[in-house]
Structure formats: C-alpha cells, structure tokens
C-alpha cells in the first residue's frame, strides 16, 4: 500500500470512487493507487539498501533513501496483516 492510498483510506475516502471519478493529474496514473507490497522487483530493494549502507559507513545521512526503505518494510507488514 502506498502513501496516497493510505491517505485516501484515512480520510474516509474510497479508492475506487476516487479512481472512477477520474484522477485529475494525468502524469500520475491510476495504477499508482493500487496497493501492493511490490516495490521494484528483486534488484531495487537490495540496491537501495546497498547504497544506503555504502554512504552510512562514511556517516553521510541519506534521509530520502533510508526513509523509503523503512516505509516499504512497514508497508509490507501492513499488507500481510490484511490476509
């Protein structure tokens, strides 16, 4: 599940209704709002972790990358709790 879908659900909205009424921004496709635990195949997650670890040992903080990793781990746990 991604952040946009979580915001729609949290606000009491219905994802299907939002998508049926037409998402106003064409550059963001409706597929973006379909929740899934997947996030870039088998290489992207491990590559992000490697990049983060590489710079972390030099004490360079990369908050965007580290927060993507944290959020996706959290998101996967949420998805598995549904089943």
* pLDDT, tens digit, 9 for 90 and up, residues 32-72: 666 565 566 677 788 888 888 888 777 788 888 888 888 88
Residues 51 and 78 in one domain: yes
Radius of gyration of the chain from Cα atoms? Answer: 16
Residues 24 and 46 in one domain: no
The residue range of the domain holding 11 is: 1-35
From the candidates 43, 57, 60, 82, give the one annotated as an active-site residue. 43
Residues 19 and 3 in one domain: yes
Mean pLDDT for all residues in the chain: 74
Residues 55 and 69 in one domain: yes
Give residue 7's pLDDT.
73
pTM recorded for the entire structure: 0.50
The reply to whether 43 belongs to the active site is yes
Residues 31 and 43 in one domain: no
How far from 23 is each of 4, 18, 28, 33, CA to CA, in Å?
12, 7, 8, 10
Q: How many domains does the chain have?
A: 2
Residues 21 and 57 in one domain: no
């Amino acid at each position: 599940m991604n952040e946009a879908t979580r915001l729609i659900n949290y606000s009491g909205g219905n994802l299907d209704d939002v998508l049926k009424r037409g998402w106003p921004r064409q550059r963001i496709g409706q597929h973006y709002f379909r929740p899934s635990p997947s996030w870039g195949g088998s290489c992207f997650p491990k590559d992000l972790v490697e990049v983060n670890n590489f710079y972390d040992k030099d004490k360079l903080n990369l908050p965007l990358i580290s927060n993507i990793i944290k959020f996706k781990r959290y998101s996967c746990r949420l998805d598995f709790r549904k089943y």
